[in-house]
Amino acid sequence: MPTAAKVAALQSHNVSVDYKNFRALEGLNVTVNPGEIIGVIGPNGAGKTTFIKALCGHINLSGGHFTIADKRLKNGQNRQQLIGLVPQDIGLYPHMTARENLTVFAQMMGIKGLKTRKEIVSAALHDVDLMDKQDTLVSALSGGMKRRINVAAAIMHNPKILILDEPTAGVDIPARDSLHRLARSIATSGKAVLLITHELEQAEAICDKLLILAGGQTLAFDTPANIMAQNFSTSREVVVRFSSPPDAPTIHALKPFNFSQGDTATEWSTLTNASEVSFVSAFMASLRGGNDIVREISVRRPGLTHLLHSVERTGRLPKQPSSESRND
């Protein structure tokens, strides 16, 4: 069946941003369709916040332009109607109920008429699955629920784009999962969702595409599967967990396999292109009987966490050739 030509929710055309003579974002080109969740990731200083501030019109562009639903945004143009922003800080009134908070936001958004406001607030509470908490004081809600109120506030005026800035920072795992499910249901309702996040495994699992920034440059804009395949194709990550921190002879035996220590003294990992069986048997043989301190060996496909470690170390993706130095 022929489909109508899709109008992109957001396009960034060669967007650059300078702070005085420091270039924080360089020639960003992305197209985001309604229904997509885009993960915006990168080390600190990558340009993620600059991208969002530029899109929201909080700072001017030095070059290029954005379009939202095919309409070109002008410097200084108010984009409140087009974009819903959920900031990191929860700006809610603790002594007011969930419904009262949203009513205040609806008034601030210029949503006129008592009846309309009531309906819009009800719809937003419904969308974020908090109807049963509408009369609860915000101070009595959990961190995850407060985030959902913030999401409700950002979607009440039906924007084309929803920006979630670290929505899951500091919330527990069930609340995190429920916020990610909420992001997906909002995308499915036809909005484009930009998710700025440090939750890399989650980003890999839930985002349709990832925008990887470093030093203001775009390192990748593609599906998580394509990015991982391009960078790690046949590589596997081998993780060894020891029952106690390895002694000097064990560390010596690990050397030829390029193991490096992980988050704890007992966890070590490396990348290999060899078959799993031959790698593990060669490694165990090298321990020469000292292998009773090995508690667990796991072999897995390298994930986004591994990729970002590489970006943090080198400023580029594992399979990208090094480029000329920047920003100087």
Contacts 24+ apart (CB under 8 A), 98-105: 98/125, 98/130, 98/133, 98/134, 98/135, 98/136, 98/138, 98/141, 98/145, 98/149, 99/125, 99/134, 99/135, 101/138, 101/149, 101/153, 102/149, 102/152, 102/153, 102/156, 105/153, 105/156
**Smallest separation (angstroms) from ligand ADP to the CB of 266:** 31
Report how far residue 195's alpha carbon sits from residue 209's, in angstroms, rounded to the nearest whole number: 10
Q: Which is nearer to ligand ADP, 216 or 224 (CB)?
A: 216
Q: Which is nearer to ligand ADP, 58 or 95 (CB)?
A: 58
Q: Which is nearer to ligand ADP, 89 or 292 (CB)?
A: 89
**Smallest separation (angstroms) from ligand ADP to the CB of 131:** 35
**Contacting residues for 286 by C-beta, under 8 A, at least 6 apart:** 253, 256, 257
Neighbours of 249 (CB within 10 A): 11
Torsion 8-59-78-197 (CA) sign: positive
**Smallest separation (angstroms) from ligand ADP to the CB of 34:** 25
Q: Which is nearer to ligand ADP, 38 or 238 (CB)?
A: 38
Q: Which is nearer to ligand ADP, 25 or 228 (CB)?
A: 25
**Smallest separation (angstroms) from ligand ADP to the CB of 222:** 19
DSSP string, 178-193: HHHHHHHHHHHTT-EE
User: Burial of 167 by CB count in 10 Å (0-12 exposed, 13-18 middle, 19+ buried)?
Assistant: buried
Report the interface residues with ligand ADP, using CB under 6 A.
Answer: 19, 22, 24, 42, 44-50
**Smallest separation (angstroms) from ligand ADP to the CB of 54:** 9
**Smallest separation (angstroms) from ligand ADP to the CB of 58:** 10
Q: Which is nearer to ligand ADP, 48 or 209 (CB)?
A: 48
